[in-house]
Amino acid sequence: MAFIKPFNAVRPAKDKVSFVASRSYEEYSKKELDCILNYNPFSFLHILNPGYRFNKRVSGAERFKLVHNRYLEFLEEQILLKDKEESFYIYKIEKDNFNCCGIICGTSVEDYRNSVIKKHENTLEQREKLFANYLQLVQFKAEPVLMIYPDKKEITSIVHNEILNEPKCHFTTPDRVTHSLWQISEKSTLKELQIEFGKVNSLYIADGHHRSASSNLLSLISKKNNPNHNGKEPYNYIMSYLIPESEIRIFEFNRMVRDLNGLTPEQFLVKLDSLFRIKKHGDQLYRPGKKHHFSMYLNGSFYSLYLRKSVYKFTNALSKLDTQILYKTILEPILQIEDLRNDKRIQYGYGKRNVLKMKDEIDKGNFAVGFGLVPLDVEEIKAIADAGLVMPPKSTYIEPKLRSALTIYELDSSGS
């Protein structure tokens, strides 16, 4: 059963929250990053990019220590303030015709180790160690791990009742996404939520596999180095954002490959014919509409590919995924792409207009062929996680994408 823990979040001062909160650091272009650092002194990006004030690139342990210094300065200047009471935080995101409303809390690394918290992606050991080292030195977490749970009316009722109150912050970002945050510190409500989540069998990581793995590694290192370890230390928890599974949106990643592995387009089509029923659509844009159907753009034409199920066997949850089918029928055996994560011959794209971008890149000669897929669904993700399997890289692009620094989880139990 899932255990959740309230915590004393560090949050931006109410009059500065829209200036402080940021997207994930990797999402910014250099031009956009420079603009924010030049003109917004309150941005959390100043903490993450501490060499800016010295006009110097810093990396490794030097950068991590400076990140901690910038964080302390934001506290000293009261740009960031620490809540006095342990709390859960309701975070609502509204975008276009989509909204989600969930709870920011601490989840247990023990639950992660015991597979109460389940994953569907592999992580890279080097990245785990790097981020664990980062957390050791900076002593805070600023972006929650996105997790989902089966819809539960009792939890939804509590959340909906709480958001009738005035939020602690409410703002809209330039990308037209509205963010609202409520603080729950009433002990009876905290307990009620803990009881209800205690009835939830599994939490599923939707986004943040490396952050979860790094939090687990950090807790093991910290436990080893702490002779007075009691299991209640902040390093035993992952700052998480929990939403009902009905409130995530899942998009597909399309695939583009730079060459046909020495084949002509005609030879390539002949090889595909044994595994797919193929229909040519010419220059008419085509998107697949159901599972095990694919679109392909090759040599100036769109094609639909329908899997011949008589020659492809479903053996487990992984074998049924369209991303795995594409890998096992085309990418690996015909195009000889074995390492989907690191092979430079393959590139991934997502978004509403990605099919047009894919066509344009292939028409320019930058790639030889592109494949479109239908998005995976929640049940497929859960089936993979429940079976202890992992998906191919870039199987899903999941929303919501969370703002950093709306709530900050401190790892130093002695306080800053």
pLDDT, tens digit (0-9, with 9 covering 90-100), for 289-345: 999 999 999 999 999 999 998 989 999 999 999 999 999 999 999 999 999 988 999
pLDDT of residue 124: 84
Find the distance separating the first CA and the last CA of the chain, reported in whole Å: 33
Q: Domains in the chain, please, with CATH?
A: 4-248+400-410 (no CATH), 251-398 (3.30.1760.10)
- 133-192: pLDDT as tens digits: 999 999 999 999 999 999 999 999 999 999 999 999 999 999 899 999 999 999 999 999
Give the largest CA-CA distance in the chain: 69
Please provide residue 165's backbone torsions phi and psi, each rounded to the nearest 5 degrees: -80, 170
Q: Please report the beta strands in 130-264, taking only residues with DSSP state E, as ranges in sequence order.
A: 140-141, 145-149, 169-172, 178-184, 203-207, 237-244, 249-251, 254-257
pLDDT of residue 413: 64
What proportion of the chain, given as a percentage, has pLDDT over 70? Answer: 99
Tell me the sheet residues that pair with 178: 94, 172
Q: What are phi and psi of 198, to 5 degrees?
A: -65, -15
Gap between the Cα atoms of 40 and 43, Å rounded:
6
pLDDT value of residue 416: 41
**DSSP codes joined into one string, 337-398:** ---TTT-TTEEEE-STTHHHHHHHHHHTTS-SEEEE-PPP-HHHHHHHHHTT--PPTT--EE
- Is 307 strand, coil or helix? strand
Q: 415 falls in which pLDDT band (50, 70, 90)?
A: very low
Whether 15 shows a pLDDT value over 90: the answer reads yes
Categorize the per-residue pLDDT at 55 as very low, low, confident or very high, splitting at 50, 70 and 90: confident
Q: What is the pLDDT of residue 156?
A: 97
3-class DSSP state of 167: coil
Q: Which amino acid does the sequence have at 277? A: R
pLDDT in tens, 20-33: 999 988 889 999 99
pLDDT tens for each residue of 80-139 = 999 999 999 999 999 988 999 999 999 999 999 999 999 999 888 999 999 999 999 999
**Per-residue pLDDT at 414:** 56
**What is the average pLDDT score of the chain?**
95
Enter the tokens of residue 6: 């309230």
pTM, to two decimals: 0.93
